[in-house]
Amino acid sequence: MPATSSIDAAELAMALDGRFDVRPGSRRGGQGTVFRAMRLRDVDGTPAADDVALKLYEHASQVERIQREVAAMQRMRHPSLANLVEDGEVMLG
């Protein structure tokens, strides 16, 4: 079973300006940490109600790979694939 993260769900929700209801219980893998959450509103304030996975990367050395992954996900649409809803940077602690 993957290890859990040291990132606190409440701290993450606060850092995301309360736009997500971050569920406790994360999973940590080789590329980062994933939290389950409900997106409550878009960046522009528009109400939303999406179940999402918040994928967090904790090392600056991963930035280039993450940018390539995000660019690829923005180009793909398929009923069997998860859609990229948004991406961005979050500073914790």
| pLDDT exceeds cutoff 80 at 55 | yes
List pLDDT tens digits, range 59-83.
778 888 888 988 998 999 899 988 8
Q: Calculate the alpha carbon distances from 12 to 65, 75, 77 in Å.
A: 23, 28, 28
Q: What is the pTM of this model?
A: 0.75
Write down the pLDDT at residue 5: 61
For 50, the 3-state DSSP assignment is strand
